[in-house]
Structures are given as C-alpha cells and as structure tokens.
Amino acid sequence: MRTPVVAGNWKMNGTRASVSELLAGVKQGQPPSTVETVVCAPYPYLPQVEAALAGSGIRWGAQNVSEHAAGAYTGEVSVAMLQDFGCSHVILGHSERRSLFAEQDPGIAEKFVAVTAAGLTPILCVGETLEQREAGATGQVVEQQLMAVIQRAGVAALAGAVLAYEPVWAIGTGRTATPEQAQAVHAALRARVAQEDAAVAAKLPILYGGSVKADNAAELFACEDIDGGLIGGASLKADDFLQICRAAAA
C-alpha cells in the first residue's frame, strides 16, 4: 500500500564525467517501476541530471535548500530554483547538515514549510548519535526532531513528505542498524505520527539510511515499517544502487 522509495544521496561527490556515467548506468539498468527512485545531486549537476533523466521515470532532487524565497542570501539556493530544474525532492535536516553546518530543528522546520508549500517532497532526516543511543535516548531524540516539524508545519504537511531514519553511528561507517533496531525506531516514529493523524501515518514512507548496501538492503526492506532507503556511498555505483532499488521492489 505504501510505494517503496529508494533515494540516492550523492553528498559532495561527482564530476561532469562521473555523473554522466552514473546516470547512464542507472537509466540503462531500469530501476523497477514499482519503486520511486530518486537521485539527490549536488546543485551544479542539477541541469545535467535533468537533461539525462527527464522522461525516464527516475526523479531527482537536492540535498538542502534555503527557507527563504529570494533575495540577499549569498550562497543560498531557493525552492523555486530547484523547481526550475525539475527537482521533485529535497533532503532536509541530514545529520551532516546538523552536525557540520549547525542546522537546528527550528530552521529545518522552516525549510520543510517552504518545500511543502511549493509542492516538492521533503525527505526529512532524523537520527540519534551513538552517545544518545547508548544513553537510551534514541526514541526521545528522533521524536523531538520529528515533532519540531509537525508543530511548525502541521501534521497534514507530512502527507506529501518522506521521513528518513538515519542513525548517525551507521552513516558511512559500514555499521548498519540491524533490521530489528531499525524497525523498532520506524514503528515508534509511525506510532508518533499516528497519534496526530492515523491516515497520514499509514501512508507515510519511512526510509532507513546508514550503510545500506546491495547485500543488506533486502533484509532491512522486508521489515514492516521500512519503506525503502536513503543511500549514500552505494548510490555512487550504478550496479549497487540498482540492486538496492530491486530489493525494495521484492
């Protein structure tokens, strides 16, 4: 009933040549049409991604956006600019933005409002650090990150959104959450949304991210509340990314 979503987060990687090769490979491999397949590219490559993927059924987006509409915000990129290049999705609140660029819940909530108001799909990231997990605070941390957005945007705004659970300790480390660990957090997140609106919760895709690879994707995606993945390193290799997309269709 929920369409699986697999989104690649290329992070700050790529050249014109590597992007061209990667997109050709992904297109040629034809990700399953039953999976919503998305690539989130660095800003400069968006025109190239649009040219390569238009009409392919594969969607594309960015990894961040400004909460402001236009004007004197040096170095920022607006939602309208992303739309100008055909973007459908935007990653918001990734843990690297939170930890390395001081993004906090209130600003992320403003971005969420700007993105949903324009009809784009935010991929809202939540997740705990290792210290927080070991202190038994995982549930509290992810709930706070989620509720900051719901309180600002309203639960109805989640109807067009995607949520991504990315434990910080599993990102780029090769240390994946076990399916049981991930499922427990996904179920708790869905239950929390259901307290606000059961229908929105039932339809909300919740993706897992953190060292998802071709060989562990299937067991994660088999969990009831895991509706796909947000993929970092493995999204930079066409074959690996395609295998993960196929695992989400199974």
Which of 86, 89, 90, 107 lies closest to 98, judged by CA?
A: 107
- Residue among 171, 193, 200, 226 that touches ligand 13P (CB under 6 A): 171
Q: What is the rounded CA–CA span in Å between residue 52 and residue 194?
A: 39
Q: Is 231 one of the binding residues for ligand 13P (CB under 6 A)?
A: yes
Q: Is 116 one of the binding residues for ligand 13P (CB under 6 A)?
A: no
**Minimum separation from the CB atom of position 100 to ligand 13P (A):** 12
Question: Among 76-84, 138-146, 190-198, 205-213, which window interacts with ligand 13P (CB under 6 A)?
Answer: 205-213
Q: Is 172 one of the binding residues for ligand 13P (CB under 6 A)?
A: yes
> 74 exposed, middle or buried (CB, 10 Å; 0-12, 13-18, 19+)?
exposed
Q: Is 232 one of the binding residues for ligand 13P (CB under 6 A)?
A: yes
- 């050249």: which residue's tokens? 15
Q: What is the rounded CA–CA span in Å between residue 173 and residue 176?
A: 8
* 119 versus 172: smaller Cβ distance to ligand 13P: 172
Respond yes or no: is residue 50 known to be catalytic: no
Q: What is the rounded CA–CA span in Å between residue 85 and residue 180?
A: 39
Q: Could you write out the three-class secondary structure of 176-194?
A: CCCHHHHHHHHHHHHHHHH
What would the x/- binding string for ligand 13P be over residues 121 to 160, using CB under 6 A?
A: ----------------------------------------
Q: What is the rounded CA–CA span in Å between residue 236 and residue 234?
A: 5
- 């392919």: which residue's tokens? 56
Q: Is 62 one of the binding residues for ligand 13P (CB under 6 A)?
A: no
Q: Is 211 one of the binding residues for ligand 13P (CB under 6 A)?
A: yes
How distant, in Å, are the alpha carbons of 132, 136, 178, 218, 231 from that of 212? 21, 23, 11, 10, 6
* 46 versus 155: smaller Cβ distance to ligand 13P: 46
Respond yes or no: is residue 131 known to be catalytic: no
**Minimum separation from the CB atom of position 87 to ligand 13P (A):** 16
**Minimum separation from the CB atom of position 2 to ligand 13P (A):** 20
> 199 exposed, middle or buried (CB, 10 Å; 0-12, 13-18, 19+)?
exposed
Q: Is 209 one of the binding residues for ligand 13P (CB under 6 A)?
A: yes
Q: Is 177 one of the binding residues for ligand 13P (CB under 6 A)?
A: no
Query: Residue 59 corresponds to which tokens in the numbers above?
Result: 């969607």
Q: Which residues, listed in sequence order, are joined to residue 90 by a DSSP beta bridge?
A: 62, 122
Site size toward ligand 13P (CB under 6 A) is 14
Q: Is 9 one of the binding residues for ligand 13P (CB under 6 A)?
A: yes
* 61 versus 233: smaller Cβ distance to ligand 13P: 233
Catalytic, out of 94, 96, 103, 186 = 94
Spatial contact of 38 and 53, defined as CB atoms under 8 Å apart: no
Binding site for ligand 13P (CB under 6 A): 9, 94, 166, 171-172, 209-212, 230-234
**So which residues are the catalytic ones?**
94, 166
